[in-house]
Amino acid sequence: MEKALRSALTIGALALAAASMAQPPCGGLIRPAFTYVQANQEVYFIDSSITHNISVVRSWDMGYVGGTMGDSTEFSYYFPDTLTHNVCLTLTDTAAGQYCQTTFCRQVRSDIDGYCTGLVDPSFAVSDGTVNGAEFTSTSTILTPAESYWELGDGTTDTSAYASHTYLWPGKYYVALNHVAYDQQSQSYCRSSAERWVAVDGNGATCNQQLFANFSSAGNGSGFWTFNAETVTALAKVGLEVWSFGDGSISIVPAALHQYIDGRSSHQVCMLTAAVDAIQHTC
C-alpha cells in the first residue's frame, strides 16, 4: 500500500475549507460536468458528471428567467433567442441525511449553426504545473479565423493559446478548448471543441510544508482493515480525512474500518487531509 497523498484521484478535490470558502464534504466527490452539441437555437445537452456512485438529483438552469430542466442526463433544449446563456448543472446529494450541492456552468451561445466541419480541428495538450496547477497548450489546426477560449473546469476562462492555471483543490476538472468561427460558405457561426476530464496533481502540502500527512493500517486476516490518520501540523486542522481504499470505496472519517471483498491481494490506499493557516488559506 502506498501511503501518499495521491490527490490526482478525484476525491482529492474534497472541499475541506475555512469558513470564508467552506463547502460541504461531498463537494469534491461529486463532480458535475456536461458537454453539448447544437444547431442554432436547438442544443443537445449530455451529462458527463463524475459521482463515485453517489445517488444525486440533477437540476438544470438554462440561463434565463423560467429556463429550467429537471433530473435529466440527456435532453434537447430550444432557446428562445440567439444570445449567450450561462447554463448550469447542479448535483444534489441527500444521502444519509447530509445535504450538499455542487454546480458546474458553461457559457452557451445559441446563435451557433453547428460544428466547424473542415475549418477547425480542435485539440490540446496538458502538462503538470506547480502544486494544484496545470499547463494547457492548444494543438488545434485552425484553417479560418476563429475566436478561441478555454473553460478550465472551475469557472475560470482564458483566451490565450497557452493557459497556465492553479486550482484551489487537486482532483479532476472538466476542461474544454473552444473555437468559434464564421463559415463564409454557410454565412453562419460554427463551434468546435476539444474537451475532457483533466487530473490536476496536488502531491505535497500547499501550506508551505507545514502539513504532513501519514496514516497507519492494520488487518485482522479476514478482509477487515483499520486505518488511522497520523497527520502532523501546527495549523488548525479542518477535522476531516478522505480515504480512498483502492477498490472504488471511499470514507470521510479520521479513523476508518474497511472490508475488502474483491479478492485482490493488494490495494493502493490514499488519504487526503486539510488544514487552515492564520490568514484563512486552506491547504
Helix (H, G, I), strand (E, B) or coil at 88: strand
Q: Residue 207's pLDDT is what?
A: 59
Q: Is the pLDDT of residue 22 over 70?
A: no
Lowest mean pLDDT across 2-11, 212-221, 255-264: 2-11
Q: Is residue 69 within 8 Å of 62, Cβ to Cβ?
A: yes
CA atoms within 13 A on the CB side of 38: 23
Q: Residue 162's pLDDT is what?
A: 93
pLDDT tens for residues 90-125?
998 876 555 678 899 999 999 999 899 889 999 999
Q: Residue 275's pLDDT is what?
A: 80
User: 501511503: which residue's cell?
Assistant: 3
| CA gap 239, 211 in Å, rounded | 13
Tell me what the mean pLDDT of segment 18-33 comes to. 52
Q: Residue 6's pLDDT is what?
A: 32
- pTM equals 0.67
Q: Is residue 130 within 8 Å of 163, Cβ to Cβ?
A: no
pLDDT tens for residues 142-199?
998 899 999 999 899 999 989 999 887 767 899 999 999 998 888 899 999 999 999 8
| CA gap 270, 12 in Å, rounded | 9
Ramachandran category for residue 70: left, alpha or beta (phi over 0 → left; psi -120 to 50 → alpha): beta
The answer to whether the Cα torsion of 95, 56, 23, 132 is positive or negative is positive
Order of strands, sheet of 133-138, starting from the edge strand that comes earlier in the sequence: 124-128, 133-138, 162-166
Q: Is residue 40 within 8 Å of 186, Cβ to Cβ?
A: no
Q: Residue 24's pLDDT is what?
A: 34
Question: What is the pLDDT of the chain when averaged over all its residues?
Answer: 81
Lowest mean pLDDT across 46-55, 117-126, 127-136, 230-239: 230-239
Q: Is residue 28 within 8 Å of 12, Cβ to Cβ?
A: yes
Q: Which residues contact 145 (CB under 8 A, 6 or more apart)?
A: 181, 182
Structural domains in the chain, sorted by start: 31-110 (2.60.40.10), 114-201 (2.60.40.10), 211-276 (2.60.40)
